[in-house]
Amino acid sequence: MSDFKELKQKVYAANMRLPELGLVLFTFGNASAVDRANNVFGIKPSGVPYEDLRPEDIVIVDFENNIVEGDMRPSSDTKTHAVLYKNWGNIGGIVHTHSTYGTAWAQSQRDIPIMGTTHADHLTTDIPCAPPMEDSMIEGNYEHQTGLQILQEFEKRGISYEEVEMVLLGNHAPFTWGRSIDKAVYNSAVLEEVAKMAYLSLQINPEAPRLKDSLINKHWERKHGKDSYYGQE
């Protein structure tokens, strides 16, 4: 019997939410969750269609990308997940998709600007887009370097991974994370919806302004501040 049955079930359920939310097509994505007590994480196996995926197919790997449990090859993005788990200790789950609008912004090499209160309910900043990877990084250990690319961009911008739980990679696609895998999935859906809203807003008015600070602060504080009043007690 698997020592990681509960972890596998949790990762399976999160992965199955991605096509339900319209965030992945075919096999264009993956989700993982970490077990900090055992320094391992569960991740979707590479290239397995979602309709064929089973909980027992989830692959358990350690932070050095060694398979701990599982008969399949883990996601090709496993090394990226491992870098983030090793360096950002408060992450519980990671999601990578090639969702349409988020990926379009990534391919345009543009941050997603904070233009409305939906965005401000979740972030007080633009969603960052890291520049395309250097050739030397691409030619090296590509997926490992992808993780380093994310770390370097957050360090360069002085951004906290606990405050901004999402990023675009230039010419690639989005990554999101959270304290749990469920929050990482939620953040992935939020990123896609905000990306769509920003795109449509700029089609209607190419000169549409950034949301003013007073509204950013109001919407963030009413949901996340010490005197927040959104939702139920």
121 is catalytic: yes
Q: Which DSSP category does 141 fall into? A: S
Q: Which residues contact 158 (CB under 8 A, 6 or more apart)?
A: none
Q: Which residues pair with 177 in a beta bridge?
A: 94
Closest CA to 98 of 188, 179, 38, 34: 188
Annotated active-site residue in 62, 111, 121, 182: 121
- 3-class state of residue 157 by DSSP: helix
Q: What CA dihedral angle connects 35, 22, 221 and 84, to 10 degrees?
A: 30
In 3-state terms the chain splits into helix, strand, coil percentages (rounded to 5) of 45, 15, 40
Strand (E) or helix (H) holding 104 = helix 100-107
Tokens representing 140 are 């090296």
Q: Based on the number of CB atoms within 10 Å of its own CB, is 152 exposed (0-12), middle (13-18) or buried (19 or more)?
A: middle
Residue by residue, DSSP assigns 29-68 as: EEEEEEETTTTEEEEPBTT--GGG--GGGPEEEETT--EE
230 is catalytic: yes
What residues are labeled active site? 121, 230
